[in-house]
Amino acid sequence: MTSGHRLFRFALVGTAVAVLYILLYAGFMALGMPQAIANALAFLMAVAVQYLGQAGLTFDAPWRDRTQALRFAAMIGLGLLTSALITGALGPAFGWHALVSAAVVTLVLPIQNFVIMSRWVFSRRRDQMETVR
């Protein structure tokens, strides 16, 4: 698969997961769930779908790989840290409005995630090198 196709599939999965999160969150809120629970449940469900979609559609990787799933979870944690740094430290330091900070997060995280997924989470080269040793 060419890198252009991979990038397109990555964006397609990411967009679908974002829409899924919004729909789940709104649906849970409409059912009367507390905001924190609705957000956490929608987020966890969307992340699970993201893992399956990125593994299967974007990177053609097996999804039943514990090490890979743990790497994905670490990437999600790093994304949360990046988001917190941008919205909680960089944005205020530069005097950005909260929505500007959020917009920066939506630009930075896909790039960060694509690089991490390509080079670490779904990297077959790394796994093959470890097998040879």
Is pLDDT larger for residue 1 or for residue 119?
A: 119
Predicted pLDDT at 130: 47
**pTM, 2 dp:** 0.86
For residue 19 the two structure tokens come to: 């829409």
CA geometry: angle 117, 129, 73, nearest 5 deg: 30
Is pLDDT larger for residue 43 or for residue 3?
A: 43
Query: Does residue 90 surpass a pLDDT of 70?
Result: yes
Query: Does residue 126 surpass a pLDDT of 50?
Result: no
Tens of pLDDT, residue by residue over 37-55, are 999 999 999 999 999 999 9
How far is the C-alpha of 90 from the C-alpha of 94, rounded, in Å? 6
- The CB-based long-range contact list for 77-81 (8 Å cut-off, 24+ gap) reads 78/112, 78/116, 79/109, 79/112, 79/113
Q: How many other β-carbons are positioned within 10 Å of the β-carbon of residue 121?
A: 25
